[in-house]
Amino acid sequence: MESLSFELLGLLFLTGLLAGTLDSIAGGGGLIAFPVLLGTGISPLQALATNKLQGSFGTTTAALHFLRHGEIDRQGLLFAMLCTFVGAALGTVAVSHIDSRLLMTFIPVLLIANAIYFLISPRVGDVERHRRISLGAFSLIIGTGLGFYDGFFGPGTGAFFALAFISLLGFSMKKATAHSKVLNMTSNLAALLFFILGGHVVWSIGLVMAAGQVIGATAGAHLVIRRGTALIRPLLVIVSIALTVKLVVADPANPLRQWLGF
């Protein structure tokens, strides 16, 4: 990948722009970015690593935008970030030792459950609800667990974080989206660090997409602040269903697809 055509540069930038916008609102930007990365001719491992590079720019931009606009409560967040970082680091190390097919069997089921929750639950809205667990317990269980998942596999991490903030900490949808970007940023950066150390990142491609990510993430975060639940809720449902289709229908080797008889 010593030289990139103007057409490919434009496609990569546009992909980063669209992925960044979607990611900052509901997650799922990898649905757009990863297939394009594979289409450039790099290996799947390089595509995963480069996806973390460009995605890190997007989640960091969105998190900073939410922070500047007062949408993030910093109290206790550092511990949650630490747990997420550790979990993501462990997940990135484990990815070469554990068969990801084990996860692909039940992750689509969780994604559909996610979609149903956001679609019908009366708890999902712009009003905060009662907290069910402490922030410390949330950090240890959800931060570490979803951090590991993002470092190991990744699809739907943003939606899972948002669901956890809403259902366990009682956050409003807008506040949950803002805080999920902080933890998603943390897991992305942790995974990226290990991919860099392994020499798997294709910088020429990732940085072009990162430029689009910064613009898209800024626009998406702005829309979240202005539109709130009216924008986030339907997109979270759509992203969860789209990820399920991608994992089950588009992958002939998916165990769940075989079990359903597709």
Q: Where are the domains of the chain?
A: 6-260
How many Å apart are CA 177 and CA 23, to the nearest integer? 10
Residue 106 banded pLDDT, cuts 50, 70, 90: low
Which of 26-35, 91-100, 159-168 has the lowest average pLDDT? Answer: 91-100
Question: Is the per-residue pLDDT at 220 higher than 60?
Answer: yes
Give the residue from 5, 3, 11, 15 showing the smallest Cα distance to 216: 15
Q: Report the percent of the chain where pLDDT is more than 70.
A: 83
How many Å apart are CA 179 and CA 177, to the nearest integer? 6
Q: What is the pLDDT of residues 114-147, one digit of tens each?
A: 677 667 665 555 555 778 899 999 999 999 999 9
* The token pair that represents 36 in the structure block: 């394009």
Question: Is the per-residue pLDDT at 233 higher than 90?
Answer: no
Question: Is the per-residue pLDDT at 168 higher than 70?
Answer: yes
Helix (H) or strand (E) holding 11: helix 6-26
- Dihedral sign from CA coordinates of 66, 68, 69, 71: positive
How many Å apart are CA 168 and CA 32, to the nearest integer? 30
How many Å apart are CA 143 and CA 183, to the nearest integer? 7
- Whether residue 26 contacts residue 51, with contact meaning beta carbons closer than 8 Å, is answered with no
Which residues in 150-173 are b (16+ Cβ under 10 Å) and which e?
A: bbbbbbbbbbbbbbbbbbbbbbbb
Q: What is the pLDDT of residues 234-250, one digit of tens each?
A: 877 787 788 777 767 65
Burial (Cβ within 10 Å: 0-12, 13-18, ≥19) of residue 56 = buried
How many Å apart are CA 62 and CA 213, to the nearest integer? 10
How many Å apart are CA 239 and CA 228, to the nearest integer? 17
